[in-house]
Structure 1
Amino acid sequence: MIRNERGAALPLVFILSTALFIIGTALLGVSVSQASRTMFQEKKEQAFYIAKSGADAVASYMIDNYNPVTLTEKAIDELNRNFGQEVTLGNGTFSAEIKKGPHDTIVIHSQGTVGNITNQVSLRLGLDEPRANMENAIMAEDYIENTGGFMVCCGADVVARESIRAGTSNIVGGELKPQYKGEFPPKLDFPNTTDWPEVPIGAVINQSGYYGEYNTSPDPFTAQPPSPETFAIHVTDSKDMHIVFNDFKSDKDPTITIGGGGTGIIHIYAHNIKVAGAITIKNSQKKKVILHVRNSIELAGSFNLDGVLLYAPEAEYTSTNGALILTGAMVVNNLSLNGASTVTYDATIANLINETRKFKRIEWSGG
């Protein structure tokens, strides 16, 4: 009987061993498959973050270097040549394609690759708040007084929210429009220069920076050297330049000459301008120049602006004796002039306000 029982147990042991082998093999297969899926998912996720980081880097570059005017088809082709090839990022690579979308939007398609695993994301860029076209030669948020009279040419109006009191006026192709109810361009913020180191004013300024107080005759009891009576600002590339002064003061006749080989907008900022003589900005090369003034403009001499958008929607502009000679356009709060004024409206300069618009991130998709 015992021998028979032992013989009967052998098939049972074989069956159990076979079952355990099959179960073990299945578990091993499941483990290998699970590990493979886990590795795939990890690489897929890594590729996603690489694609997203790549798209974000391309967006930052575009926001810093382009606006709706400068982002031409040619510029997009150049961006696609630069970012269309594989760029190493972390433990993988990414490539990006930039396309124009509807309603002034831009879409960045980015593909991340880790090993042989890829993932894609898309980032849509739009524009910040719309800017109104500057279709008037002079715009005043409050009133305009000009005892010397206006000579305004080239088909633009002189407008004010309140009254306009002017002497002999000759508005060629336009008219004086008091009680103006139309749209004004928005206010543009001054740069926050709290963390900007002060840069000395030299004969040529060719980089953005905070240049402190401009004063050709500072207090002799201070250590501040006198500012140069004449200096140049040269734009070097397609990036905008931001030249920030605290106050701009002079008892002489300061002259700023604009030049350089670049195409970016030159923004000149001053909280106040107070000049006893004449102040001149020469822009014979027709660079893009916006002069921002926050609080006040007080002049004894003339104000000669050749190819400049004077943008001072909160500033009081008073001139005791001198004339205003402007090619471009201007926006102020109040305008009081005693000298004869000649304004030549230039739409290209006036509408630089549209080029201050920037792209911004709107929507992510994919992944």
Structure 2
Amino acid sequence: MKNRKGSTLILTLMVFVFLSILATATVSFMVSENNQSIAHKDKIEAYYIARSGAEAVEAAILSITDEKEKENLLKNLPKNVDISGMDLKSNELLEVKVKQEDNIIVIESKGIVGKGSEIVEKVMESTTESEGDVISNIDSVIFSNTNMVFESNTQNNITGNIGTNSLKNDTIKFTSGFNKNITIKIPFGADSSKIINKPSTNKDIPNIEYIEKRNYPLYNFPQYPIDLLNKGIIKTNWDNSNPIINSSSYYDSIIVDQDYSLTIDANKSDVILRVKDFNVSQGHLKILGHKDVKIFIENFISLKGSFNNENNNKNVEIYYNGDKEMNIMNETKINGSIYLKSADFNLGNGGSINGNIISGGKKISISGGTYIQDGLIYAPNAKLTLTAGGKINGAIICNDFNMSGGGSITYSPQYIDSVSVKFPSTNKKTVFKNSYYK
């Protein structure tokens, strides 16, 4: 009986020891789990505190508008940011540093909560851009940097004033007559009796206005878009007589012929196209909607037929960065603006453009019953020749001008859209862009 009592006591003690060990292990595990949970919670809070610090500094940088303040910021990097004024809990935001790596600004922010700490890095891009200025002093129907020649009484077909930057004798020449209704703007220092050459039989005294020399530099030709989805080749034929483009894309070739059509649907969004070979040998490019349409052409082969002829959307632009002359002929009608980086331009045989011609080329020829309606021709490097019945409603800025053969020009400032014509400026500005987390 005693032996049984002894065995029961030993068993009870063993169970008690086991339960004590289990309880101790359980408590230890629970304490460890609780500590880990608290540490994890502290790290999460520290992470978001660090993010708050980085985003507060980013917002402060983006809010800087003064160029000197931006310049001073960049000159004094790396630097620690004074965080005492930030509306965050005490001691939770430990520090924020701002440093620069090439054109990248890195905002490094460290948060601490309890025993947990986290560091985040936010990256901002910093670029320097030239501010483009919009041409504002378009107050003449024709303004030439150098010579102006009016043959065969064409001066009578001008409505508006003319001007030049030249000081040389015989800069402005009227071969067969003189239009006394024209005011001629010449630079200070020019001799009006010598700079204007008119028939000696004409005794009319020119209306002269002296001006400061004007600077009409080349416009900022844009970079061609990249990273567009390549959609290969579009070619019209009997079973593809009216293909439709409704999204921005890159094409190796666009070929429209046999009087077929290609439709660009800009009802819902802007459409930007980059085309390697552009060949509309006989056909029509139709535009639907009133969103912006921009076509960037690398190799211009032809455009014959019509472009946006049935739509009043003037937010349509053709860009061409090649060297081959662009010819718009044979009653081709374009409703939109044309931008040429360096190519010459020829509009003839009844073609018409309702929009601007902006050119960095050396020559522009308008002839053969053509019509430019409500447009600005801005070509400060080009010799512009208007002949054989060419008609312009708008204004011309060129380097050298010659008019003959029944052409006409009417100054219509209310229709001239110069907003899109921007040229380089000596003013630079620093641009900070929204950041991202590393």
What TM-score do you get using the length of structure 1 for normalisation?
Answer: 0.52
Indicate the structure (1 or 2) with the bigger Cα radius of gyration. 2
8 Å CA contact 2:345, 2:363 repeated in 1? yes
CA-CA distance at 1:361 after TM superposition: 6.5
Deviations 1:219-252 (A, max 9, x none): xxxxxxxx52x312367878562343742237x6
The answer for the alignment partner of 1:199 in structure 2 is 278
The answer for the alignment partner of 1:166 in structure 2 is 174
Q: Which amino acid aligns with 2:408?
A: T
Q: Which amino acid aligns with 2:395?
A: A
The answer for the alignment partner of 2:207 in structure 1 is none
The answer for the alignment partner of 2:426 in structure 1 is none
Residues 189/294 of structure 1: CA separation in 2 closer, same or farther (3 Å cut): farther
CA-CA distance at 1:327 after TM superposition: 0.6
The answer for the alignment partner of 1:318 in structure 2 is 385
C-alpha separation between the residues in 1 aligned to 2:367 and 2:312? 33
C-alpha separation between the residues in 1 aligned to 2:40 and 2:223? 57
Q: Report whether the alignment pairs 1:249 with 2:327.
A: yes
Residues 144/175 of structure 1: CA separation in 2 closer, same or farther (3 Å cut): same
CA-CA distance at 1:143 after TM superposition: 0.8
C-alpha separation between the residues in 2 aligned to 1:279 and 1:159? 28
Residues 347/188 of structure 1: CA separation in 2 closer, same or farther (3 Å cut): same
Q: Report whether the alignment pairs 1:129 with 2:201.
A: no
Provide the aligned C-alpha RMSD in A.
Answer: 4.8
Q: Which amino acid aligns with 1:271?
A: A
The answer for the alignment partner of 1:338 in structure 2 is 404
C-alpha separation between the residues in 1 aligned to 2:334 and 2:314? 19
8 Å CA contact 1:140, 1:331 repeated in 2? yes
Residue 351 of structure 2, aligned match among 271, 280, 292: 280
Deviations 1:76-105 (A, max 9, x none): xxxxxxxxxxxxxxxxxxxxxxxxxxxxxx
Q: SS in structure 1 opposite 2:414?
A: helix
Q: Which has the higher helix share?
A: 1
Residues 136/307 of structure 1: CA separation in 2 closer, same or farther (3 Å cut): same
Q: Which amino acid aligns with 1:177?
A: K
The answer for the alignment partner of 1:15 in structure 2 is none
Residues 37/145 of structure 1: CA separation in 2 closer, same or farther (3 Å cut): same
CA-CA distance at 1:329 after TM superposition: 0.4
Aligned residue pairs, count: 247
Residues 164/200 of structure 1: CA separation in 2 closer, same or farther (3 Å cut): same
Deviations 1:330-357 (A, max 9, x none): 111111222234221111333x223445
The answer for the alignment partner of 1:38 in structure 2 is 46
The answer for the alignment partner of 1:304 in structure 2 is 371
Residue 233 of structure 1, aligned match among 308, 311, 318: 308
Q: Which amino acid aligns with 2:146?
A: D
8 Å CA contact 2:367, 2:389 repeated in 1? no
Q: Which protein has greater RCO, CA pairs closer than 8 Å, 6+ apart?
A: 1
Q: SS in structure 1 opposite 2:419?
A: helix
Q: SS in structure 2 opposite 1:348?
A: helix
